[in-house]
A and B are shown apart, each in its own frame.
Chain A
Amino acid sequence: MRTMQSTLIISLVLAIGLFAEKPMKYVDTGVNPNTWALVPAGEFYFGQHQHVVDLNYDYEIMITDVTNRQYANYLNEALEEGTIYIKRDTIWGYHPGDPFDAYLHEFEIPAGDYPHVPLTNPGLRLDFEGGIFSPKTGYGNHPMVEVSWFGAKAYADFYGFRLPTEKEWEKAARGTGTNDYPWGNTVKRNQANFVSSHNLFKKMFGDVVKTTPVGFYNGKNYDGYQTIEGITPYGLYDMAGNVYQWTGDDHPKVHYRYMRGGSYQSYEYNLRVWPRNSAGPEHTSMSLGFRCARTPEQVEVAPDESSE
């Protein structure tokens, strides 16, 4: 019995050792996550079957996912203002509720407080010390992950932005053409962060860390690792791979929220511009983040936060 216990303990220690992450090296991509791209009004081809859809208004969308640094800053401001609070190792906030159709399998989401970010999830790349949130070392320009739809929406609401609708998201990814991927009809392993590209950047980021800094695939050479520019016609980065992105729609008859773009765990066909993923709005994941959209009147000059 004692031998068995010892073996188990040794195995556990070894396992923890194997999982222990090395300190993250900060990689500067030169891309400013506070930059927005203008998507002009007009028709575009929506979905696999390329139905013509007209979005008859201009909108702006962030050229990168919201980063850990941006989200940490928001948390500090929102905590101070009292729009969010921490309880049971989780950040919570108020949501006014969703229309409920009582449709088959639909969950009701009434007004109330909902979880935004579970602070104990090991995939979270934020530190919380002395009442202040900050990104873990090296993760400042990685996409914010482990954030629920409520947490993503709260960020957008806080700054007067919104989460893009699925149509806004897809138009921003595809432009007005008929490409399958944001830049064309094929994807190279050093053009986006997806399941086939891991071994290429493993040396740079290690085994466990699977996200890449926002805007990483911009044609730059990182200590010998040459990337191919993976941008959309409007200049957006990471619209295919890296992390899935929450979209803003509350579609009728379902409680699900939809995500787009594929992630570092996805095969290449999930990086095409039309596949959807979905989950309950409380869902969080290491491979799920978001970016925001806004109307053009909100344009303002933002400081460059590309360096840590």
Chain B
Amino acid sequence: MKKIKDLFHFFFQSTKGLILLGITSISVITAVWGMLSGPMVEWGVRDFVVNLLGMDLQSVERSGRIIMLYHVIAMIVTAIEVYMITSIVPMRRHQRANINNTITVGWITTTIFGLAFGYFGHNYFYHGLFLVGQSLIFFAGLLLAAALYPWRKHFLVEDKDYAHTKNGYDLERMAFFIMAVSMLISAGFGAVTGSFWSNGHETFLAEDLIRNPDKTALQKAVIGHLHIMLTLIAVAITLIVGRWMDFKGKMHKVAMPTMIFGTAVISGGVWSVVWTHMAHTFIYVGSVFVMFAALLLVIYSWGKLIKDRTAELGLENPTFGQKFVALFHDPIKFGPFWQMVFMNFTVSGVGIFMAVKLDEIFRVWPAREERITLTGHWHILSAIIATIILMYYIDIAGIKGKMRKWLGWTIIIGSDIAFAAATIFSMKRLFVSEYYQAPVVNWTMLAMDFGLGIILVLVGGILIWRLKDLFTSDGLWTKESASPELDLERTSVLTQEGRDAINKEMEI
């Protein structure tokens, strides 16, 4: 009984356990639901899974099902990021507990009943609880925004190497706050549209409307919603891994205001999509600022990796070659920032290229080709975020030595092969005619399946290891229970004013 209680405590009360729970859920969902599409259909795997699990897949409901699945996965990713944020941004203990508990109940409810509604039969009970789950997540978001409120003298920057205002307010905290508030408002764009469902609004996938000259305000709201939510999830993970690397100094001082401004502008730009064609101008401006902040983080992180490793080796004046080797020494810490760079070739670069060549490509190509490119870049960006979370998790789990290197390089190489192949596949019409495309299609599909497959196998391996660990009385999970929070430097510290406020609360 004690063991069950301890396990429950680990999974639901410790940040490390909560993150593991989230990653496990996403992995299981990805593994099972990944068998419902693509080549799995041809191989008969889908029918087997559908029959085995008793799924009810009506063809006409495909769009709705996909929307439910996207929401379920997005909610879990959001929850994982929230767990990380509540651990790395200083806040009161009860705030952290309230936020984490609320969002955990929220995403579990959303996941169970969202998937039940989408894939196992419709009823008001399932759908109602799906909405309850999402509402709880939104409420957790409100609590998070309140906890992150940066203009309070309870937490101030003491180490002047971290970005701060003249009054000592923490600019990184402000960046998290702006991201959280933007996400709450952006969620509203989806929620408002959802409330009109079957009352003037019909289910649709954004990629099916790309060439409709006139879209309703509700359709535009949804298109904006899905873009900004993914963007803000990317902003959040950038800030999180920045803290992991103890981002500080001059570049931090430039990056944080830039990130704050970029996040606000890009969010405002996406919201304005509902009303104006000018929205894209704001989005482009905001993107430049956000990406510049990320670039500074990449430069800082790589510099730090080189500096730390050469210092570890006792090299006072390392040569270029030694620096180069030092950079690649720890793939788990090199990887997330490499993925951010690689993203420019598979997501941002493709987007810019397509925008420049708009009249030659998208105004002429079949919509299906355009759709492949668009859905491809969303999926690649999502998967890049997933690999960054995974690499950070491997560090959180304390995996070291050769295993750490194997896992790191496998994630980097496997995912990049898959992303590059997906990009080549989506842009194949630029360099191969339809008649000769079969080898390109076959090889890129194979590379995608190989790259993503190998990562899924790797994740499976990690999860089996963690599962086995749960059956040992003094396993990693007990250590993580004892030290539940993420081990890193915080930007701000509790001030005397903060202490007084807490004491006052305790008196009441």
Chain A residues in the interface with B (C-beta under 8 A): 18-19, 48-49, 103-107, 121-123, 180-181, 185-186, 189, 195-196, 199, 207-208, 251-256, 259, 266-270, 272, 275-280, 282-283, 285-287
Contact = CB atoms under 8 A, between A and B. Distances in A.
B364 A282 contact: yes
B69 to A, nearest CB: 14
B42 A286 contact: no
Contacts of A276: 208, 367
B438 interface: yes
A148 B364 CA distance: 12
A278 B367 contact: yes
A207 B365 contact: no
Interface of B: 37, 41-42, 58-60, 62-63, 202-203, 208, 211, 213-214, 277, 358-359, 363-368, 433-436, 438-439
Nearest to B371: A277
A180 B60 contact: yes
A283 B434 CA distance: 12
Given A181-B59, A278-B366, A283-B364, A253 B41 contact: no
A252 B367 CA distance: 17
Given A196-B41, A196-B42, A105 B368 contact: no
B364 A279 contact: yes
Given A207-B438, A278-B366, A186 B59 contact: yes
B363 A255 contact: yes
A36 B363 CA distance: 34
A296 to B, nearest CB: 32
A19 B436 contact: yes
**Closest 4 pairs (CB-CB, A-B):** A253-B213, A180-B59, A279-B366, A122-B435
A278 B37 CA distance: 24
B41 A254 contact: no
Nearest to B198: A49
B468 to A, nearest CB: 39
Contact of B59 (A185, A253, A266): A185
B60 A48 contact: yes
A121 B435 contact: yes
B363 to A, nearest CB: 6
28 contacts: A103-B213, A104-B213, A107-B359, A123-B433, A181-B59, A185-B58, A185-B60, A195-B42, A196-B41, A196-B42, A207-B438, A251-B213, A253-B213, A254-B211, A255-B363, A266-B368, A267-B41, A268-B41, A269-B59, A269-B62, A276-B367, A278-B211, A278-B367, A279-B365, A282-B364, A283-B364, A283-B366, A286-B434
Contacts of B37: 267
B342 to A, nearest CB: 28
Contacts of A286: 434-435
Given A122-B433, A196-B41, A254 B213 contact: yes
Contacts of A123: 433-435
Contacts of B433: 121-123
* From B42, B213, B433, residue with most partner A Cβ within 10 Å: B213
A104 B435 CA distance: 33
A215 to B, nearest CB: 24
Contacts of B208: 275-276
A44 to B, nearest CB: 16
Contacts of A195: 42
A199 B63 CA distance: 28
Contacts of B42: 189, 195-196, 199
Nearest to A208: B438
* From A105, A181, A253, residue with most partner B Cβ within 10 Å: A105
Given A256-B211, A259-B366, 16 more contacts: A19-B436, A48-B63, A49-B202, A106-B213, A180-B59, A180-B60, A196-B42, A199-B42, A252-B213, A256-B367, A272-B59, A277-B367, A278-B211, A279-B366, A279-B367, A285-B434
Contacts of B363: 105, 107, 255, 280
Nearest to A195: B42
Contacts of B364: 279-280, 282-283
A106 B359 CA distance: 10
A195 B58 CA distance: 20
A275 B207 CA distance: 11
* From B202, B359, B366, residue with most partner A Cβ within 10 Å: B366
A102 to B, nearest CB: 12
Contacts of B434: 123, 285-287
A19 B202 CA distance: 45
Contacts of A196: 41-42
B277 A253 contact: no
A270 B371 CA distance: 12
Contacts of B213: 103-104, 106, 251-254
Nearest to A51: B202
A85 to B, nearest CB: 24
Nearest to B212: A254
B147 to A, nearest CB: 42
B41 A208 contact: no
A254 B367 CA distance: 13
B416 to A, nearest CB: 26
A132 B434 CA distance: 26
A98 B39 CA distance: 42
A84 to B, nearest CB: 22
Contacts of A186: 59
Contacts of A104: 213, 277
A18 B37 CA distance: 29
A204 to B, nearest CB: 17
Contacts of B203: 49
Contacts of A280: 363-364
A196 B45 CA distance: 13
* From B208, B368, B439, residue with most partner A Cβ within 10 Å: B368
A207 B208 CA distance: 30
A285 B211 contact: no
Nearest to A259: B366
Contacts of B436: 19, 122
Contacts of A19: 436
Contacts of B60: 48, 180, 185, 272
A103 B203 CA distance: 26
A39 to B, nearest CB: 22
A18 B438 CA distance: 11
Contacts of B366: 259, 277-279, 283, 285
B344 to A, nearest CB: 26
Nearest to B362: A105
Contacts of A275: 208
* From B211, B358, B359, residue with most partner A Cβ within 10 Å: B211
Nearest to A49: B202
Contacts of B211: 254, 256, 278
A11 B60 CA distance: 47
A190 to B, nearest CB: 13
Contacts of B438: 207-208
B429 to A, nearest CB: 10
B170 to A, nearest CB: 43
